[in-house]
Amino acid sequence: MSKQQLNLPSNWHGIAFRVRYQENDPMGVVYHTNYLNWFELGRTEMIRDLGFRYRDMEQAGVLLPLIDASLAYGRPARYDDRVAVYTRIVNFSRLRIDYEYRIHLLTDDDLSVGDASAAGTRPIFTADDELPGEPLTSGSTRHVWVNREFAPIRLDKVLPSLYDALVRSLQD
98 given a catalytic annotation: no
Given a contact cutoff of 8 angstroms between Cβ atoms, the answer to whether 31 and 20 are in contact is no
CA dihedral 45, 47, 53, 58 (to 10 degrees): -120
CA distances from 6 to 28, 146, 168 (A): 42, 23, 9
Of 44, 12, 17, nearest to 124 by C-alpha is: 12
Active site positions, annotated: 25
